[in-house]
């Protein structure tokens, strides 16, 4: 029987009860509790706030944050490092820093592990890390606490299977995103494993154009050099394709890209070829899908304005804001501090352009209903703080709710 590995942990340390009170104090929110208790709706004066029925922290995020707290509790006298941000929420990461956890940030996508010794403890984020990163850390002999989300691990298994069977992984995602970088690296487990990352349907169209003989090899390689394996050759590696995705992308777009590429392969080579040389699976995580479905349900109630709360670098929050912006005026804010009731302004990320702008008079007199949702990395207390400031912008004191 093999001896247990005492330097690698994926299931925490059994200290949930020890950190539960601290987690609750740091992230729970009475305003959100009140909204839930009143069918996700709160009316004060002439203003109503309606909250989507799925929002905020998902299971994977809760697990990652809890394991980070457990780690600090388990090793109070040792240096604890975190490989990048645990999740994409500035308040959660700042709280970890306050607890003495040092966050290593990459330079051009590369982490410097020279500061880490065998006596240290290293936490891997919910996004996961690349194979090379994990190998480097394991070689150092330090304690590794792996909080990689289970939904991400499911995508990794899919990508591994593609590489094992000689398929190029076509990943719908952002090539620079931590999760996508970690996912793409899984192909390295097999000799010749290959990946290509496409951001959206427009980039998927570049792939189908190439399949149909309309592309230029040099131009394709120049455009996707950073988004593909170093040995990627479109003339070779687009013959067999397996589609996967970053778990936080817009679900309907991922499905559409898979179908679009599959149809192109069938158009060029025939249905029999497609069946043998094309695979696609929906690997959007259930929490991402649930939040997108809840937003669509809320939009049916036709709010006057939508407020989406979450980090400006949070992919799942960006996807939620994009959904909302298709139907209603939408403001994506990082937190309550983005809302200034005294000045009547809001500082937000434009869902269509990505530009960060300040808007005056965003909550006009004609606004009667504000729809609200939050990304999977947004704590309940930050959602509640934003609700209080929304009411304050209308001159309504809701501070007693919190």
DSSP 237-298: HTSSEEEEE-TTS-HHHHHHHHHHHHHHHHHHH-HHHHHHHEEE-----HHHHHHHHHHHHH
Query: In sequence order, which residues have a C-beta less than 8 Å from that of residue 308 and are 6 or more positions away?
Result: 317, 320, 321, 324, 330, 331, 332, 333, 351, 372, 373, 374, 375
How far is C-alpha 291 from the geometric centre of its chain's CA atoms? 12
Residue 85, helix vs strand vs coil: coil
Evaluate whether 345 touches 281 at the Cβ level (below 8 Å).
no
Annotated active-site residue 179? The verdict is yes
The residues that bridge with 358 in the sheet, in sequence order, are 347
Side-chain-side CA neighbours of 311 within 13 Å: the count stands at 19
Q: What residue has token string 């150092």?
A: 140
Evaluate whether 374 touches 292 at the Cβ level (below 8 Å).
no
Which one of the listed residues 160, 178, 179, 253 is annotated catalytic? 179
Reading the block at residue 394, the tokens are 């209308």
The residues that bridge with 306 in the sheet, in sequence order, are 330, 371
Q: What residue has token string 């809890």?
A: 66
CA distance 364 to 367: 6
CA distance 289 to 316: 10
Helical residues (DSSP H) of 270-379, grouped into ranges: 271-277, 286-299, 315-325
Reading the block at residue 66, the tokens are 């809890």
Query: In sequence order, which residues have a C-beta less than 8 Å from that of residue 266 and are 6 or more positions away?
Result: 273, 274, 278
Active site (catalytic) residues: 179
């Amino acid at each position: 029987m093999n001896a247990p590995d005492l330097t690698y942990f994926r299931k925490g340390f059994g200290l949930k009860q020890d950190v539960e009170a601290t987690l609750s104090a740091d992230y729970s929110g009475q305003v959100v509790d009140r909204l839930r208790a009143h069918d996700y709706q709160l009316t004060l004066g002439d203003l109503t706030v309606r909250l989507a029925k799925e929002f905020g922290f998902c299971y994977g995020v809760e697990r990652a944050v809890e394991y980070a707290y457990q780690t600090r509790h388990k090793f109070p006298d040792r240096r604890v490092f975190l490989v990048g941000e645990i999740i994409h929420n500035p308040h959660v990461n700042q709280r970890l820093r306050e607890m003495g956890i040092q966050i290593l940030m990459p330079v051009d996508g590369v982490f410097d592990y020279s500061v880490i010794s065998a006596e240290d403890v290293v936490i891997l984020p919910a996004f996961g890390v690349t194979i090379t990163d994990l190998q480097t850390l394991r070689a150092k002999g330090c304690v590794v606490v792996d909080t990689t989300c289970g939904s991400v691990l499911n995508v990794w298994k899919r990508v591994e299977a593609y590489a094992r069977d000689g398929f190029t992984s076509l990943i719908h995602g952002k090539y620079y995103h931590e999760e996508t970088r970690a996912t793409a690296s899984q192909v390295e487990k097999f000799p010749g494993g290959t990946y290509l990352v496409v951001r959206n349907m427009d980039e998927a169209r570049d792939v189908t154009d190439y399949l149909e003989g309309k592309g230029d090899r040099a131009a394709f390689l120049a455009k996707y050099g950073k988004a593909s394996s170093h040995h990627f050759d479109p003339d070779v590696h687009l013959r067999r394709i397996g589609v996967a995705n970053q778990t936080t992308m817009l679900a309907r777009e991922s499905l559409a890209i898979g179908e679009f590429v599959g149809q192109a392969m069938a158009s060029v080579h025939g249905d029999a070829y497609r069946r043998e040389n094309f695979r696609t699976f929906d690997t959007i995580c259930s929490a991402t899908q649930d939040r997108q479905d809840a937003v669509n349900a809320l939009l049916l109630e036709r709010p006057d304005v939508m407020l989406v709360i979450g980090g400006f670098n949070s992919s799942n929050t960006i996807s939620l804001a994009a959904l909302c912006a298709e139907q209603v005026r939408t403001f994506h804010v990082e937190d309550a501090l983005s809302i200034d009731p005294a000045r009547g302004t809001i500082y937000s990320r434009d869902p269509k352009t990505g530009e960060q702008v300040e808007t005056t008079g965003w909550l006009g007199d004609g606004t009667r209903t504000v729809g609200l949702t939050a990304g999977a990395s947004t704590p309940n207390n930050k959602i509640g703080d934003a609700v209080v400031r929304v009411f304050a912008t209308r001159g309504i004191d809701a501070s007693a709710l919190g």
